[in-house]
Amino acid sequence: MSAIAAVVQAGGLAVAPLVPGTIQALKARMQGRRGPSPLQPYRELRRLWSRSGVEPLGAGLPYRLAPPVVAACLILALAIVPVAGRSGPWGLGHDAFALVGLLALARVAVALAAWDTGSGFALMGAARDQTLALFAEALLALALLLAALPAGSTDLVAMSGSAAGTAIWTEPAHWCALLAFALVVVAETGRQPVDNPDTHLELTMIHEGPLLEYAGRDLAYLQWAAAARHWLMLLLAAGLFLPHPASFAGALGLAAAAVAAGAVALAVLETAQAKMRILRVPSLLGLGCLVALAGVATWGAGGVL
Amino acid sequence: MTPATAICLAGAAGLVLGGALPAASRAAAALRAGLTLQALGAALLGVGGVAILAAGGTTGAPLSAQIRPALGLDPLSGLFLVVLGLTATPALLFARGYLPGGHAPRAVAVLTAAFLLSLAGLLAARDVTTFLGFWEAMTIVPAAAILAARRDDEARSAVLLYLGITHLGGAGVWVALLALVLAGPGGATGTLIAVAALVGFGTKAGLAPLHAWLPRAHPVAPAHLSALMSGLMVKVALYGLIRVELEWLAPAPLWLGLVLMGLGLASALGGVLYALVQGELKRLLAFSTIENVGIVTAALGASVVLATAGEPEWSAIAFAAGLLHLVNHAVFKTLLFLGAGAFERATGGLDLDRLGGLLRRMPWTGGAFAIGLLAIAGLPPLNGFASEWLVLQSMLHVALDGAIGISLAGAVALAGIAATAGLAALCFTSVFGLTLLGAPRRPEVAQAREAAWPMRAGMVLLAVPCVVLGLVPGLVLPVLVDLAPSAGTVPATPGLDLPATGSLPTAALAIAVVLVAGLLVAARGRRRAAPAPAWTCGQRVVPELSWTAAGYAKPLRLVLEAVLRPRRRLEVTEAAGVVTGVDYASEVALPVDRFVSEHAARHGLRGAAFVRRLQTGNVRTYAAYLLALVLGLLALARTGALG
């Protein structure tokens, strides 16, 4: 069973780019454009893979190491996060906070690359990313706490197991957790209203900013990592916060459906909602923290109201 | 005498000899030999600490609230001796290359030995008198060393503030310990002792809101003393806190745990927030010390709360989490302060916006400094991440296991520690970029040369435990769990394989990151086009226009404007409608300065002016005082008030 789980997890490497591709395609339809095919990210990755890299003058090791380190962090994160409540025998544990650490490492690697190039736009994006990240990390920690309450553990497999079935849905704490985590998904994937992934105007970019100086295979790694972040967050949402059957096949089907539904939801949100002012985003995430704390309170008060 | 005691005594002898040698002789060789002896002594003390930890049990006198002088060692002292060895040995090695270029090197060397002896004595003190004696020595000696090394007004006023605040606060230590002697723990005195000890040790450890002295005093000391003050001295203050609050007053009450968590959290968030808005490297590092002391204190508080919630195992793990973070912080903060000292020596200044590109110019110093920065930023696979992971887990278990109020407190603490980690990452990324990367921003920085070998050796020696403790924290954790007041056991695996977590196989994760990243580097190949300038909308990238510390923290400043409340001053000089000069300054004052210290200083000065009237300088007045005192005492004795 664990071998199958390992294969399914590894499949995430290949499937991930489909998520942002689908979002872009759906968004184009909703905006009345023909838009690109959902497979467009794959084409872009292939094109980038055949190009040579360009290196800014004076850049050194942090610049060169950032893309492989970021991609490696996301690959390990995919190994840690169980699919449909099962995880392969990778020997890396499946702890929720280990995941937070890996995402933080990826973020800092990008920010250090920005400092290495010295480009103002890259630094602007990195500074904003790290500023929003500290609010997002607090919210993510609270959402994970809420998901850990029924299992009494931060083991992602156990957390996913305790969310199986429908009993959990009578807990108000779970609803608060879902809302809090939804905000984390938007922030971590860099989608509107937090960030606009379509913009290539230097002054408004957050996540795209530090990518400006990259080309070729480096850029391919970074773009794949951005796609993997979508996959990872939606997979976590499906595993920890949505009702799913305890059986592997059932849960797998549901996870696939949930990721697809998540992609649709992100596309709708991005069509309906304009980008927020960057400085307003922490208020939004702070509101999420309050909701999560309310969830903790209802759990402490005895669960079902 | 046990072997461990013998090793410790040999270490102390090394410190004494190492201090005596430069005091006796003016020769440069005597200074070097003295510092080497001191380093050896510190290393022996560390080894002795390991031996005590390995043997377990107490040697010498047991710890007691007596006033009869007694010395002895137990495993908790042993752990702090290990911290002393880990930090002081490299710092003294560093000093061997660093001191000869500074002011009054001999005096500083002698005082360094005295400082370390007082720290070791404090750890070996088994009674109240000895403890208080070494406690005062530990406070005064570094002040003397700072005054010996620096004559300027900034250093003097910092030392005055340091002595003032730590003595006022330190009164708490006296009150707590003397109350322990008189009444013993328990009852109403227990509460008094707990509060007094919190004030006393909290001041010395730099806990908010009693921290105002720390960011001023630590930066003005010579590099190796800054390192020892931030890396070691504040830890020894936490040692006192643990002894009194968690051992003597055991079982500690719930309110104490919650207060520790609250103070810790406030220090952690406040410390890192103010670190972020500093423009000078050493000052920034001092603020980050407040942050890390806060994290340790919060973990200790969580340990108390978990013990009262009937979770002895997690209580022990939370305690160990605090201790592990304490050890980790001692290592990387010492490393960072030494690095800052090396940069200052090489470039002549530590203004963050006037450094840059030092990784290339000083590869050894820069490389070790980089490891320290990544460790303190709490990034896997280094040691800072391992202990912060443990602290996060402790907070999570407070939230999981407590009643509703405690659960909420745990949740708030969890979010706060997570945000602190995010802020630390932001802060130290910016330090990394400003000091080590990019183009040099001053001619002196461009000319910087690598530090002398003893300085390099000291820093590399500290970078090693940053990596090792990050790879195998699980081998240290059981030892620390055994030190906890509540019973608990954890398996001795290399990683952190704890119940009710998804486990953190640190070494496996580290290997996997390196392996996968290596494979990706190989897959990327070497095909690259010619280097091109970075894209800044067609402008050229020039050092003068490069990003500053304030620029990188700007989004955060804007978000937290209401909290930080910066004071800004902008002066534009115009001549005939043409701007000829712009002068801009902004400062973020500490709330404790703004609301407390400034008022306290004003009233204190007024009080001092009043008291000065009593000091007329006239002999007859003093004779009258004496007469009044004698008469008063006689009267009191007569009425029986004096017994």
Give the sign of the dihedral formed by CA A230, CA A233, CA A236, CA A238.
negative
Nearest-by-Cβ selection for A93 from B499, B504, B518: B504
Look at residue A96 and give its three-state secondary structure: helix
Q: Which tokens in the block code for residue B291?
A: 């942050």
Cβ neighbours of B17 (radius 10 Å) = 16
Q: Which tokens in the block code for residue A297?
A: 């309170």
Cα(B519)–Cα(A13) distance, integer angstroms: 15
For residue A86, the 8-state DSSP code is B
Neighboring chain B residues of A114 at a CB cutoff of 8 Å: 433
Neighboring chain A residues of B380 at a CB cutoff of 8 Å: 98, 101-102, 104-105
Q: Using the beta-carbon criterion (under 8 Å), do A101 and B389 form an inter-chain contact?
A: yes
B-interface mutation test, from A78, A102, A105, most B Cβ less than 10 A away: A105
Cα(B62)–Cα(B38) distance, integer angstroms: 28
Q: Using the beta-carbon criterion (under 8 Å), do B414 and A116 form an inter-chain contact?
A: no
Q: How confident is the model at residue B643 (pLDDT cuts 50, 70, 90)?
A: low
How near does any CA of chain A get to the CA of B564, in Å?
Answer: 15
Q: Is residue B185's pLDDT more than 70?
A: no
User: For residue A159, what is the nearest residue in chain B, using CA coordinates?
Assistant: B502
Answer whether B396's CB lies under 8 Å from B417's CB: no
Q: How confident is the model at residue B303 (pLDDT cuts 50, 70, 90)?
A: very high
Residue of B330, B154, B322, B299 lying closest to B230 (CA atoms) = B330
Q: Using the beta-carbon criterion (under 8 Å), do B437 and A118 form an inter-chain contact?
A: yes
Q: Is residue B186's pLDDT more than 70?
A: no
Q: What is the pLDDT of residue A1?
A: 61
Residue spans of alpha helices (H) in B472-505: 473-482
User: pTM for this one?
Assistant: 0.94
Q: What is the pLDDT of residue A305?
A: 41
Q: How far is CA B56 from the centre of its chain?
A: 27
Please give the average per-residue pLDDT across B175-193, as a whole number: 83
Please give the average per-residue pLDDT across A189-209, as a whole number: 81
Characterize the bridge pairing of strands B72-73 and B567-575: unpaired
The string of pLDDT tens digits covering residues B259-299 is: 999 999 999 999 999 999 898 999 999 999 999 999 999 99
Q: Give the mean pLDDT of chain B.
A: 91
Burial of B170-183, coded b for 16+ CB within 10 Å and e otherwise, reads bebbbbbbbbbeee
Cα(B505)–Cα(B490) distance, integer angstroms: 14
Please give the average per-residue pLDDT across A18-41, as a whole number: 93
Contacts 24+ apart (CB under 8 A), A106-110: A106/A69, A106/A70, A106/A73, A106/A74, A106/A225, A107/A133, A107/B425, A108/B374, A108/B377, A108/B379, A108/B425, A108/B429, A109/A62, A109/A65, A109/A66, A109/A69, A109/A70, A109/A73, A110/A66, A110/A70, A110/A210, A110/A222
Interface check for B521 against chain A (CB to CB < 8 A): the answer is yes
Q: What is the pLDDT of residue A302?
A: 66
Percent of chain A exceeding pLDDT 70 equals 98
A-interface mutation test, from B317, B385, B430, B524, most A Cβ less than 10 A away: B524
Interface check for B363 against chain A (CB to CB < 8 A): the answer is no
How near does any CA of chain A get to the CA of B43, in Å?
Answer: 33
Neighboring chain B residues of A212 at a CB cutoff of 8 Å: 535
Neighboring chain B residues of A223 at a CB cutoff of 8 Å: none
Please give the average per-residue pLDDT across A268-296, as a whole number: 90
Neighboring chain A residues of B394 at a CB cutoff of 8 Å: none
How near does any CA of chain A get to the CA of B493, in Å?
Answer: 13
Nearest-by-Cβ selection for A141 from B414, B438, B537: B414
Cα(A6)–Cα(A98) distance, integer angstroms: 19
Q: Give the mean pLDDT of chain A.
A: 90
For residue A167, the 8-state DSSP code is G
Q: Is residue B410's pLDDT more than 90?
A: yes
Q: Which tokens in the block code for residue B597?
A: 């210290």
Sequential DSSP letters for B10-59: HHHHHHHHHHHHHHH---HHHHHHHHHHHHHHHHHHHHHHHHHHHH-S-E
Answer whether B249's CB lies under 8 Å from B154's CB: no
Neighboring chain B residues of A10 at a CB cutoff of 8 Å: none
Look at residue B590 and give its three-state secondary structure: coil
Interface check for B507 against chain A (CB to CB < 8 A): the answer is no
How near does any CA of chain B get to the CA of A127, in Å?
Answer: 6
Give the sign of the dihedral formed by CA A267, CA A268, CA A274, CA A279.
negative
Place of tokens 């999981």: B400
Answer whether B298's CB lies under 8 Å from B395's CB: yes
Side-chain-side CA neighbours of residue A36 (13 Å):
14
Sequential DSSP letters for B372-384: HHHHHTT-TTSHH
Q: What is the pLDDT of residue B403?
A: 84
Neighboring chain A residues of B554 at a CB cutoff of 8 Å: 127
Nearest-by-Cβ selection for A148 from B396, B417, B509: B396
Interface check for B538 against chain A (CB to CB < 8 A): the answer is no
Neighboring chain A residues of B423 at a CB cutoff of 8 Å: 134
Interface check for B522 against chain A (CB to CB < 8 A): the answer is no
Cα(A148)–Cα(A137) distance, integer angstroms: 16
Q: How confident is the model at residue A279 (pLDDT cuts 50, 70, 90)?
A: confident
Q: Using the beta-carbon criterion (under 8 Å), do A118 and B546 form an inter-chain contact?
A: yes
The string of pLDDT tens digits covering residues B148-160 is: 998 899 999 999 9
Neighboring chain A residues of B508 at a CB cutoff of 8 Å: 91-93
Give the sign of the dihedral formed by CA B153, CA B158, CA B161, CA B162.
negative
Q: How confident is the model at residue B187 (pLDDT cuts 50, 70, 90)?
A: low
The string of pLDDT tens digits covering residues B88-106 is: 999 999 999 999 888 899 9
A-interface mutation test, from B314, B528, B537, most A Cβ less than 10 A away: B528
Sequential DSSP letters for A112-152: HHHHHHT-HHHHHHHHHHHHHHHHHHHHHHHHHHHHHHHHT
Q: Using the beta-carbon criterion (under 8 Å), do A137 and B393 form an inter-chain contact?
A: no
Please give the average per-residue pLDDT across B385-413, as a whole number: 93
Neighboring chain B residues of A105 at a CB cutoff of 8 Å: 379-380, 513
Q: What is the pLDDT of residue B539?
A: 76
Q: What is the pLDDT of residue B616?
A: 78
Residues in a beta bridge with A58: none
Among B224-228, B493-497, B565-569, B572-576, whose mean pLDDT is lowest? B565-569
Answer whether B343's CB lies under 8 Å from B313's CB: no
Interface check for B535 against chain A (CB to CB < 8 A): the answer is yes
Q: What is the pLDDT of residue B374?
A: 97
A-interface mutation test, from B276, B361, B382, B437, most A Cβ less than 10 A away: B437
Residue of B244, B297, B294, B233 lying closest to B83 (CA atoms) = B233
Characterize the bridge pairing of strands B567-575 and B578-587: antiparallel
Q: How confident is the model at residue A299 (pLDDT cuts 50, 70, 90)?
A: confident
Residues in a beta bridge with A83: A86
Q: Using the beta-carbon criterion (under 8 Å), do A116 and B437 form an inter-chain contact?
A: yes
Q: How confident is the model at residue B366 (pLDDT cuts 50, 70, 90)?
A: very high
Q: Is residue A303's pLDDT more than 60?
A: no
B-interface mutation test, from A117, A145, A201, most B Cβ less than 10 A away: A145
Cα(A109)–Cα(A127) distance, integer angstroms: 13
Q: Which tokens in the block code for residue B154?
A: 């900034």
Q: Using the beta-carbon criterion (under 8 Å), do A152 and B500 form an inter-chain contact?
A: yes
Among A264-268, B107-111, B397-401, B411-415, whose mean pLDDT is lowest? B397-401
How near does any CA of chain A get to the CA of B409, in Å?
Answer: 10
Q: Using the beta-carbon criterion (under 8 Å), do A60 and B359 form an inter-chain contact?
A: yes
Q: Is residue B468's pLDDT more than 50?
A: yes
Residue of A114, A107, A207, A66 lying closest to B438 (CA atoms) = A114
Q: Using the beta-carbon criterion (under 8 Å), do A127 and B434 form an inter-chain contact?
A: no
Interface check for B432 against chain A (CB to CB < 8 A): the answer is yes
Beta-carbon contacts below 8 Å between A and B: 274
Q: Using the beta-carbon criterion (under 8 Å), do A145 and B414 form an inter-chain contact?
A: yes
Q: How far is CA B501 from CA A95, A98, A137, A231, in A?
A: 6, 10, 19, 24
User: For residue B508, what is the nearest residue in chain A, using CA coordinates?
Assistant: A92
B-interface mutation test, from A131, A162, A211, most B Cβ less than 10 A away: A131
Q: Which tokens in the block code for residue B103?
A: 């002011």
Q: Is residue B218's pLDDT more than 70?
A: yes
Please give the average per-residue pLDDT across B582-597, as a whole number: 77
How near does any CA of chain A get to the CA of B502, in Å?
Answer: 4
Q: Using the beta-carbon criterion (under 8 Å), do B408 and A102 form an inter-chain contact?
A: no
Q: Is residue B477's pLDDT more than 60?
A: yes
Nearest-by-Cβ selection for A217 from B425, B524, B537: B524
What would you measure as the largest C-alpha separation in chain B, in angstroms?
98
Q: Using the beta-carbon criterion (under 8 Å), do B501 and A216 form an inter-chain contact?
A: no
Please give the average per-residue pLDDT across A112-127, as a whole number: 91
A61, A64, A68, A74 alpha-carbon torsion, rounded to 10° = 80
Answer whether A185's CB lies under 8 Å from A234's CB: yes
Q: Using the beta-carbon criterion (under 8 Å), do A157 and B502 form an inter-chain contact?
A: yes
How near does any CA of chain A get to the CA of B225, in Å?
Answer: 30
Residues in a beta bridge with B581: B573
Q: How far is CA B23 from CA A263, B40, B115, B182, B612, in A?
A: 73, 18, 15, 41, 38
Cα(B379)–Cα(B511) distance, integer angstroms: 15
Q: Using the beta-carbon criterion (under 8 Å), do B396 and A145 form an inter-chain contact?
A: yes
A-interface mutation test, from B516, B548, B564, most A Cβ less than 10 A away: B516
Rounded to a whole number of angstroms, the CA Rg of chain B reads 26
